[in-house]
Amino acid sequence: MTRLYLLAATLNVWVLVLILAAAFAVQLIVGDLPCPLCVVQRVCLMLVALGPLHILMRGRDGFFTTRDAAVGNGMAIVAAFVGAVTSGRQVLLHILPGDAGFGAPVFGLHLYTWCLIAFACQIAASAVLLIALDFIEEKPQPDWPLTNATAIALAVVIVANLLSVIAEAGLHWDLPPDPVEYLLFK
Amino acid sequence: MIYAIFMVLVLLTLVASWRGHPWELPLFGLAVAWVLVHVVLDMTTPLTLSF
């Protein structure tokens, strides 16, 4: 059961990494630069991923405790709440009839709407993982082999977004509300 | 630059988590609180960050 729990935490991080990679792909392929609120939502997705990653990191040494798992799920829920506030804010900005929304829709919904759905699902998933702690036995486990690869994948996507936002903002403290070019290269 | 600072904070938290450093949770708390304050300020002032 413990290994199943670690697998769930690993999948949780990879789903978030894939969401971030997909948003980055839309930025590069479609040329749709992220607005300030979009970037904040990306930061929130990264913060959410640190929760399940905390579980993996603490379980890396072969001893998995329910306390570490509870802390990791709590981190994910808090970050997902902040993310839901941010994406909810952006959804409400474009809720009036006739408003085309920001950016190109993907599968009929804008990225910030998908983000709101993702944050809501994350809160529910973390709550389920908290409940599932009741089935965990605290005893030494063999090392979980996917921890380092998962952490490296998350680090890569964070660094890519960091470079992107530096290019987008240039030397300015904030981003323009509707960015159309990379200010660093202007 | 503020968004780059947010991401650097996330990266530092990840490194602290990797090394099992006690600063992991304080860094995480700082990042989450700062982002929340940033969004709340956007909600309570004339539109600056959006859309």
Report the alpha-carbon distance of residue A50 to residue A57 in Å, rounded.
10
Nearest by CB to residue A50, choosing from B8, B17, B35, is B17
Name the closest residue on chain B to residue A93, using Cα atoms.
B51
Q: Where are the alpha helices (DSSP H) in chain B?
A: 2-19, 24-43
Tell me the two tokens of residue A81. 């709440």
Residue A103: closest CA among A185, A7, A36: A36
Its pTM stands at 0.92
Amino acid at residue number B40: V
Share of chain B above pLDDT 70, in %: 88
What pLDDT band is residue A49 in, cutting at 50, 70 and 90? Answer: very high
- By CB atoms closer than 10 A (0-12, 13-18, 19+), residue A141 is middle
Name the closest residue on chain A to residue B6, using Cα atoms.
A43
A108 backbone φψ class: left, alpha, beta (φ>0; ψ -120 to 50): left
CA–CA min distance B46, chain A (Å): 12
- ipTM value for the complex: 0.90
Report the alpha-carbon distance of residue A183 to residue A122 in Å, rounded.
34
Q: Which residue has the higher pLDDT, A75 or B42?
A: A75
pLDDT at A95: 85
Residue ranges making up the domain that contains A126: 2-185
pLDDT at A64: 77
Report the alpha-carbon distance of residue A35 to residue A116 in Å, rounded.
16
Report the alpha-carbon distance of residue A185 to residue A168 in Å, rounded.
9
Q: What is the CATH number of the domain that holds A41?
A: 1.20.1550
What pLDDT band is residue B43 in, cutting at 50, 70 and 90? Answer: confident
Q: Are A167 and B4 in contact (CB under 8 A)?
A: no
Best mutation target, B1, B2, B9, B10, to test chain A (most A CBs within 10 A): B10
pLDDT at A97: 85
Mean pLDDT across the stretch A109-137? 93
Report the alpha-carbon distance of residue B28 to residue A20 in Å, rounded.
19
Q: Are A59 and A141 in contact (CB under 8 A)?
A: yes
Residue with tokens 């200010």: A183
Name the closest residue on chain B to residue A101, using Cα atoms.
B51
Number of domains in chain A: 1
- DSSP three-state, residue A109: strand
Pick from A9-18, A45-54, A108-117: least confident: A108-117
**Tens of pLDDT, residues A140-183:** 777 788 889 999 999 999 999 999 999 988 888 888 777 777 87
Q: Are A60 and A143 in contact (CB under 8 A)?
A: yes
